[in-house]
Amino acid sequence: MTQKIALEEHFLSPGFEDYWKTTAGEITPDIFRQAVARLAEFGDLRLGQMDRDGIARAVLSIAGPGVQIEGDTAIAVRRARESNDFLAREIAKRPDRYAGFAHLPMQDAKAAADELERAMRDLRFVGAMINGHTNGQYLDHPSLYPFWERAEALGAVIYLHPADPPAAMPALEGTYGLKRATWEWGVETGSHALRLVFSGHFDRFPRATLMLGHLGEMMPYLLWRFDSRAAFYGVKLARRPSDYIRQNIVMTISGMYSAEPFDCAVGAVGHQRIMFATDYPFEPPGEASEFIDHVPLADDVRADICFNNAARLLGL
């Protein structure tokens, strides 16, 4: 079994259950209680699963959307700080096994930047996870430039995690099983990331690093198409869209445990841009590790994806 660092491993801070419940879907109360119990646990249950999966270190992040759906900015700022302090206390109990992504109040660019800096400097977190748009505002909005300036200066990795779109997708109305994790979240999150690419965000912030789960939210499959249509429509960028995706975006395997999309992503962006994640506790236990331990790979490539790439990028 290959040693691993896992990068999309969720938890809940006390009092954040109502935020998370908004995206929990139509699950039964019993399943909801089981999920909350796992999200709130940092001891034998979580560590035991890590041991079985060969996970040396888990980078913990709040189960979204958290304070990003909070309507009161002052409350969002306060509760994001409280959540980060809570996570730091849990990490301090097992610093050999846990690290953290900061939770940020993106309603206020300066407050988010300040909290990111505090979390990385004082709490020793390794970056941040942002759960999609914040009350309809996407990460390419000019008001957030001060946040990105700070993130770039800090060398912070920003993990863009799925969230419900601001409005229901008309094409999915009347369907069952296509919303949220099946299709809707991938379309929403991939579109969010492409806004950054096509808006010239990475020309403005060339050292910014965005992390995506699910093997890049379908983008590796479409690199040629992005370049072709950008030229066709006269999109004004310093480089091709695929260049930004290969140079400013890294990916994890969270929730995509199949050889075909995995091979596509490796071929499209290179194995050095791909890292391990399990999406704990939302995927079946052990599935991610079982996949990555047995998918055909050279031993050194497997070690890079499982451990070395994350260790290098996040300083772990």
Q: How far apart are CA 262 and CA 264, in angstroms?
A: 5
Tokens representing 15 are: 């009092």
Strand partners, 274: 251
Tokens representing 271 are: 């194995």
279, 293, 299, 304: the catalytic one is 279
Q: How far apart are CA 136 and CA 140, in angstroms?
A: 12
Question: Do 96 and 29 contact (CB within 8 A), yes or no?
Answer: no
Question: Nearest CA to 96 among 50, 40, 154?
Answer: 50
What is the full DSSP assignment across the chain?
---EEEEEEEE--TT-HHHHHTTS-S--HHHHHHHHHHHT--SHHHHHHHHHHTEEEEEEEEPSSGGGG-S-HHHHHHHHHHHHHHHHHHHHH-TTTEEEPBP--TTSHHHHHHHHHHHHHTS---EEEE-S-BTTB-TT-GGGHHHHHHHHHHT-EEEE-----SS--GGGTT-SS-TGGGTHHHHHHHHHHHHHHHTTHHHHSTT-EEEESHHHHTGGGGHHHHHHHHHHTT---SS-HHHHHHHHEEEE-TT---HHHHHHHHHHH-GGGEE----BTSS-TTHHHHHHHHSS--HHHHHIIIIIHHHHHHT-
279 labelled catalytic: yes
The residues carrying an active-site annotation are 279
